[in-house]
Amino acid sequence: MARGLYQIIVSTIILILQPDSGWTLTHKDWLTLKTERAHILSKYKHLVTSSTLSWAWIEDILSGQIPTSRLILVGGSSAVCRVRDGIRERAGRTDTSGSCLAGPEFIKHAEYQVLVDMSQFSRNEWVYWDMYTIPIVGTVAYNDKTFVASFNMENSNQIIGELDTKRGLNGNIRAYVSERETKLSTQGSVLVEIEPQSYIIDKIKLNTLKEKTELSMVSLGELWLSREMDDPKDALYVSPEDAAASHQDTANDWDYVGARMDYSVDVSQYWGHVPGTIRGLSTVSRLYNNTEVKFAWGTQWAGELADGVDVGMELQPGTKILVTVQGVMKTGVTPYSASITQVYEDGVKKPVQVEGELRHTSLTDIQVRYIDRQYIETGLPAPAKPPVKPVKVIDNNKNQPKKDLLVSSHQSINNDNMVVPLGTPMSMVSTDSNKDSGEEYERESVKTTTEELPATLYPPTVPTSTKPNPLRKFYPVEDDPPREKVMFSAAKYGHSAAGLKLRTVNGDILIGLTLVTLISKYLYFLD
């Protein structure tokens, strides 16, 4: 009695303090725990080993090595148990005292085995049974003659029993109600383990810090990207001027040339055996670039990985460049964590988080190199595209509002080498749209330069006399030409206002000034 009370107290404490989150079955657990694999009914009507259910000794439950949540319970309180009697396994159930109530003399046993789900892969259900049906595929067996079953009593409590299909007319379920009472039923439920149809392994995380691998470089292929020279249309004779202009246009003519390079390499993968899984089950993995690989679980897969990479470079007409693609082949063992999703016949999917070691040969670190740029016809080295240089505009008139000007009208615009300030309207990028604004800006620059000329050795002459000239009565002064015409003439002949003034001071028309001075003195003496 005291021993039974002790087991109840210990079981209660473990049930409260022992969570099953994070507890996973490893190969070490299979070796250290004293468990026996359970058996289920196959489609050929004989017993086969279950992949997920096991019979564990009660001391492993009481010691906390196996969480109590892994027990197969009925009604939330009674567990499926069995007692060894020599070479036989007698069916039973646990009661409130923490013992296993089993036959043949309705004795409470302190040493017994309980049915547990050692892995997280088990999917079991209670399926209806009566004397007119036969056990279905997956029915869990107590031993080689009886199966795990249950039925409802008068008080609607579900009680665990054993199903013997050869007992009675067409079989019945017998349950031990108490130490002195047993009950039989021809209707109830049987425990059935449902096996998946396939696996999907994804969400793979490789622990590269703890891997043991060997690396080797492999060439995935190479190709030439080329841009042919466009022949001039209807050009029987090309003048030297046109040839020079064509050469200048070619030097600034850059265009993107792209291609796709396909490659294939031999790879392999072996995920090892994960406790609770079924060997030989159809599996799909997504290890290489999210590419699906189909194989039988528990076996090594070897095949060919085919993929491609996009390459491209900006080239001038009549040039080409060599593109090479290389990768790193990794061979060895890498620890991993992944999600194995069990896919069932009824469409249910059950994901399970697992850990293991992956033995693989895989491709990593794909690198694309662009080398050996040359001309197509001669094979000589061709220049690379120069870096983009920003255009700097100096505004001498700081007091005036700034203009949205990119470049002046006399500068050539190159869309590849030009840096457009942030916020500049795209309509101002073309040459036509900047032409008028460039000329206006040039005129304002001319004005600013004229007003701010530095001091020279020949300053302009200043009239010293303000007396009126009497000859002006007979020779009236002609009106000065409009300012716009003067500016137009200066621009037409390649001079500006600043240029005229400098040339006058430097003596280009010094003779004219001398004659004007002599005439002025002559008129002065006449007055």
List, for residues 256-272, the tens digit of each pLDDT value.
999 999 999 999 999 99
Question: Which H/E stretch holds residue 500?
Answer: helix 497-506
Indicate the pLDDT class of residue 177, thresholds 50, 70 and 90: confident
The DSSP code for 381 is B
Query: Quick one: pLDDT at residue 524?
Result: 60
Burial of 422 (0-12, 13-18, 19+ CB in 10 A): exposed
User: Dihedral of the CA atoms 227, 230, 231, 232 (nearest 10)?
Assistant: -160
Give the Cα separation of 233 and 250 in Å (integer). 16
pTM over 0.85: no
Q: Which residue has the tokens 């027990």?
A: 71
User: ∠330-334-335 over CA atoms, to 5°?
Assistant: 165
Helix axes 483-492, 497-506, angle to 10 degrees: 70
What is the end-to-end Cα distance of the chain in Å, rounded? 154
Taking alpha carbons only, the member of 211, 165, 446 closest to residue 336 is: 211
What is each CA distance from 178 to 78, 108, 158, 520, in whole angstroms? Answer: 13, 10, 14, 148
Query: Quick one: pLDDT at residue 242?
Result: 53
Low-confidence winner among 275-279, 337-341, 393-397 (lowest mean pLDDT)? 393-397
Q: What does residue 109 show for φ and ψ, rounded to 5 degrees? A: -110, 135
User: Between β-strands 319-343 and 198-206, what pairing exists: parallel, antiparallel or unpaired?
Assistant: antiparallel
3-state secondary structure (DSSP) of residue 289: coil
Q: Please name the residue ranges forming H helices in 33-90.
A: 58-62
- Residues of the chain with pLDDT > 90: what percent? 44
The DSSP code for 122 is -
Indicate the pLDDT class of residue 108, thresholds 50, 70 and 90: confident
Report the chain's mean pLDDT, rounded to a whole number.
75
Cβ–Cβ under 8 Å, residues 269 and 359: yes
Give the Cα separation of 485 and 421 in Å (integer). 36
Query: Quick one: pLDDT at residue 98?
Result: 86
3-state secondary structure (DSSP) of residue 415: coil
Cβ–Cβ under 8 Å, residues 367 and 325: yes
**pLDDT at residue 52 greater than cutoff 80:** yes
**pLDDT of 370-428, one tens digit each?**
999 999 999 999 998 887 766 565 655 555 444 433 333 333 333 333 333 333 333 33
List domains and CATH numbers for the chain.
Answer: 2-193 (no CATH), 198-375 (2.170.15), 386-452 (no CATH), 470-526 (no CATH)
